[in-house]
């Protein structure tokens, strides 16, 4: 675990065969962690691989870390529903280039809170993911959460440029976003869920983004669901997606009786 570092430089590191210890006891109460970046800034980390097979802690976590660049990060085989990459409170302005996140929490079921990449909802902002491959993780592949301790859902301005996000046979979307102002440009989102992308508030999804599901439905009109959660003093905002320029305008339609409470479905404007 790296703590309180400025200008950290790592080029080539593999973490594997972690000591599983005895989860639930002593210093390994939460299991053995893989790589932790804690209260660190302006680092450059390249070619880091974390193979968490056999260990029960978080494979990779960043806590209160800012302005770091991670190139070719691989996080795989996390055993528990503890995510692959975890971004925790006040981790902002970090850039992940060509990351690979696979098989973390696989087989742990749905509704667990697990994700390949999980941004915790507690003021993690302006993080960027360029050309990442995220697949085979339990529950959700990419989750910007609203389940921080105070349920504030204050993660915002997550940006995805390219990459592939492939879900398994699950009831959740491959990409689930509960924060403000997400941007997805040129990504491929597919898998077995009922939606490829589900998000709250001020969504901007680039025209080159594609989605698919096991149902055979293809395209944002079928697979993007805009969700609304009422928050004190906050008016629901409408998603904007443009067709031929950069984004496709969506408009709200009548709420489906099949939708779960609190969700509004959207259809593409023509």
Q: Give me the chain's average pLDDT, please.
A: 77
Question: pLDDT class for 186, splitting at 50, 70, 90?
Answer: very high
- Within 8 A by CB and 6+ apart from 140, the residues are 114, 115, 116, 167, 170, 172, 173, 174, 175, 176
Tell me, what's the pLDDT at 242?
Answer: 29
Quick one: which of 175, 132, 179, 133 has its CA closest to 156?
Answer: 179
* 243 vs 6, residue with greater confidence: 6
Highest-pLDDT range among 11-25, 82-96, 188-202, 251-265: 82-96
Question: Which pLDDT tens digit goes with each residue over 193-223?
Answer: 667 888 765 555 665 566 655 443 333 433 4
What pTM was estimated for this model as a whole?
Answer: 0.78
Give the range among 1-15, 179-193, 234-248 with minimum mean pLDDT.
234-248
Question: pLDDT class for 250, splitting at 50, 70, 90?
Answer: very low
Tell me, what's the pLDDT at 203?
Answer: 55
Question: Which pLDDT tens digit goes with each residue over 27-85?
Answer: 777 778 899 999 999 999 999 999 999 888 999 999 999 999 999 999 999 999 999 99
Q: Quote the CA–CA distance of 68 and 43 in Å, as a whole number.
A: 5
Instruction: Express as a percent the part of the chain with pLDDT over 90.
Output: 50
Tell me, what's the pLDDT at 153?
Answer: 87
Q: Quote the CA–CA distance of 25 and 134 in Å, as a whole number.
A: 32
User: Strands of 115-119's sheet, edge to edge?
Assistant: 2-3, 35-38, 60-63, 85-88, 115-119, 140-144, 175-177, 197-199, 224-226
């Amino acid at each position: 675990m790296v703590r309180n570092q400025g200008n950290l430089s790592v080029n080539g590191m593999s973490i594997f065969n972690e000591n599983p210890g005895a989860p639930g006891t002593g210093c390994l109460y939460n299991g053995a962690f893989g790589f932790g970046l804690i209260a660190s800034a302006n680092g450059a980390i390249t070619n880091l691989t974390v193979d968490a097979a056999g260990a029960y802690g978080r494979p990779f976590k960043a806590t209160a870390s800012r302005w770091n660049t991670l190139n070719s990060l691989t996080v795989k085989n996390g055993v528990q529903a503890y995510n692959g990459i975890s971004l925790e409170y006040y981790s902002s302005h970090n850039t992940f280039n060509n990351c690979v996140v696979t098989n973390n929490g696989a087989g742990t079921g749905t509704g667990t809170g697990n994700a390949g990449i999980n941004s915790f909802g507690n003021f993690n902002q302006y993080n960027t993911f360029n050309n990442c491959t995220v697949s085979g993780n339990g529950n959700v592949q990419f989750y910007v959460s609203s389940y921080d301790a105070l349920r504030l859902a204050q993660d915002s301005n997550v940006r995805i440029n390219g990459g592939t996000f492939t879900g398994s046979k699950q009831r959740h979307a491959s990409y689930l976003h509960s924060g403000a102002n997400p941007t997805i440009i040129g990504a491929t989102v597919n898998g077995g869920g009922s939606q490829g992308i589900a998000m709250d508030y001020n969504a901007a999804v680039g025209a080159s983004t594609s989605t698919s599901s096991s149902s055979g439905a293809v395209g944002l009109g079928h697979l993007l669901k805009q969700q609304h959660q009422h928050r004190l003093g906050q008016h629901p905002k409408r998603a904007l997606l443009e067709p031929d320029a950069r984004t496709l305008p969506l408009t709200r339609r009548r709420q489906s009786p099949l939708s779960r409470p609190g969700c509004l479905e959207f259809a593409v404007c023509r």
